[in-house]
Chain A
Amino acid sequence: MKNPLLTAIAMAVGIVVLAGYFLAVDMLLTLRAILIEWATILVAVALIAGVINLFAVHWRKVTRGSAGGASGSTQIYSLVLVTGLSATLIVGGWLGPTHPYALWIFNNIQLPVETSLMAILAVVLVYAGARLIQRRLNLLTVVFLLTAVVVLLVSGPLFGFDLPGLAELRAWIGRVPAAAGARGVILGVALGIVTTGLRLLAGVDRPYEG
C-alpha cells in the first residue's frame, strides 16, 4: 500500500517542524505551533483509540471465551481488566479524577500494585547482579559490579563502620566518571536519534503505510 501522498505529508510536516527549531521566521513558527498543537491532540486521540482497542480485545476474550482462543483463566483476567477499566472510566469520568472515590481507586489499586511491582525488583535485581558474572565474565562486568557494590554500601548508614572518605568517593564517582559516561552515552543516543529521525523525514522508513 505505498502512498506517495502520505510520504509527502509526513516529510512536509516534519521539515516545517524541524526548521522551526532553528529558524526564527514568524510564519514558520506559527505554522509549527499549529502543527504541534494538532499532533498533541492526535496523540491524545490515539490514546483513546488504544484504550478502546484494549477494551475490545479483552471484551472479545471474555465474551467469546475459548472460541476466541482464550483459556478459562485468561477469560477471568480479561474480565478483571475490563472491569477495572470501566469502573475507573465511570467513576473518574463522572465524578472527576480528583473526586475522593476516583482517588480511592488510584490510592488503593494502582499505587499499591505499581509500588509492589517496583518492590519485587529489589529481589529481582539482586538476583540478576549476583548471577551477572556467571553470565558474562569480562572487564565491563567486574567494573560494573564493583561500582554498584561500593555505591550501594555507601548510600546507606554503615552502622558505625564509617570509613573516612567513602561518602566522598561515592560523591566523586557520581560527579566525575559516572557523569562522564552518562554524557557520552546520551550523546551517542542523540546521534542515533538524529539519523533515525532523518530517515523518516527523508521518507525512507514509512511506518504509517499500513
Chain B
Amino acid sequence: MNLESLLGLALVAAAMVLILGYVAAVRKWEPRALRAIQTFQSLQRAIGLAVEAGNRLHLSLGRGNFLSSQAGVGFAGLSTLDLIARSTSISDKPPISSAGEAALSILAQDTQRGAAHDLGGEFDPARAQLTGVTPFSYAAGAAALLGEDEVGASLLVGSLGSEVALIIEAGERAGSPALGGTDNLSGQAVLYASAHNPLIGEETFASGAYLGAGRLHHASLFAQDVLRWAVILAILAGAILKVAGVL
C-alpha cells in the first residue's frame, strides 16, 4: 500500500468520521450557522412562489457521465429535487426535472415518485424527462421544455458544460430566471456570465444543507470545511518541505 493510497484512504475515513461525528454532536448542541449565499435565498423565494403563486420549477440534473466524478453533482441535484418535490407538494404545479443521462433520469423519476408516494400525491412520469442523450441535444431539449411548460424558474444542479448557455438563454426568453451551478469549469464560467444567480463551484453541492435537507447535509458542509483547511495546510507544509529539500 503506497503513500498515495494511504492518504486517500485517510481522507475518505476522515470525511466519514467528521460527518457522523457532527451528526452525533448536533443532537446535543445547536448546529453552526452558515454564511448567507444569495442564490439560495432567491431559490427559497422561488420555491415560496412555486407554493403560493403556482409557478412551476424546473431542475436541470445535467448530463454528467454516470460512472465518473461527474455523477457527484448529479446526486446533489437529486437530493435537491427530492427536497423541492416535497416542499412544493402543496403547490398545484409540482416541479419538473430534466436529465441528459439515462440512469440519472431514471433516478429522477424514482425520486419524484417516492416524494409523491410519501405525500399521497399522484406521480406523472412526464415530470422527470430525459430530454436528450448527448450534451448539446440535452441542453436543446431542456431549453425547449422551458418554452413549452410554463416554468417560473430554472434551477441548475448538475454537470453542464458550455452548452448550459442554451438553457439559460431559453429561460431568459421565457421569463424564467436561471439559478444554480455545476461542477464543470467551462460551464461555471458561462453560468457566471449569464445566469441570474450563479453558484460557484463547491457551493452547488451545498444546496441540500441550505434548503434545509437536514443534519447530514449540514454535516457534509462541516466535513468539507475541515478537510478544506486540512488540504490547504497540507499544501503549504508540503511546499515548505519541498523548498527545504526534505520532501
- Chain A interface residues (CB < 8 Å from chain B): 1, 18, 21-24, 36, 39-40, 42-43, 46-51, 53-54, 57, 74, 77, 114, 117-118, 121, 124-125, 128-129, 132, 135, 144, 148, 182, 185-200, 202, 204-205, 207-210
Q: Assuming the A-B contacts A1-B114, A51-B102, A57-B129, are A191 and B72 also in contact, with contact meaning beta carbons closer than 8 angstroms in the complex?
A: no
**Which positions 187-233 of chain B face chain A at CB distance < 8 Å?**
188, 190, 192-194, 196, 200-202, 204-206, 216-217, 220-221, 223-224, 227-228, 231
Query: Does A132 contact B204, Cβ atoms closer than 8 Å?
Result: no
Query: Does B67 contact A43, Cβ atoms closer than 8 Å?
Result: yes
Stretch in B29-37, B52-60, B75-83 touching the partner: B75-83
Residues of A within 8 A of B136 (CB): 114, 117-118
Residues of B within 8 A of A77 (CB): 144
Residues of B within 8 A of A144 (CB): 192-193
**Minimal Cβ-Cβ distance residue in B for A201:** B16
What's the nearest-Cβ distance from chain A to residue B171, in Å? Answer: 12
Residues of A within 8 A of B162 (CB): 118, 121
**Set A22, A53, A182, A194: member contacting B1, Cβ < 8 A:** A22
Stretch in B6-14, B43-51, B88-96, B237-245 touching the partner: B6-14
- Chain B interface residues (CB < 8 Å from chain A): 1, 5-6, 8-9, 11-12, 15-16, 19-20, 66-67, 69, 72-73, 75-76, 78-79, 82, 102-103, 105-107, 109-111, 113-114, 117, 126, 129-130, 133, 136-137, 139-140, 144, 148, 162-163, 165-166, 168-169, 183, 185, 188, 190, 192-194, 196, 200-202, 204-206, 216-217, 220-221, 223-224, 227-228, 231
Known: A121-B166, A196-B75, A202-B16. 8 other contacts (CB 8 A): A23-B9, A47-B133, A124-B166, A135-B196, A190-B69, A192-B224, A198-B19, A207-B111
Query: Does B220 contact A208, Cβ atoms closer than 8 Å?
Result: no
Complex Cα distance A48/B106, Å? 12
9 A-B pairs whose Cβ atoms sit less than 8 Å apart in the complex: A22-B1, A47-B103, A186-B201, A189-B73, A191-B202, A192-B201, A195-B224, A196-B73, A199-B216
Q: Assuming the A-B contacts A51-B133, A124-B194, are A193 and B205 also in contact, with contact meaning beta carbons closer than 8 angstroms in the complex?
A: yes
Complex Cα distance A198/B140, Å? 32
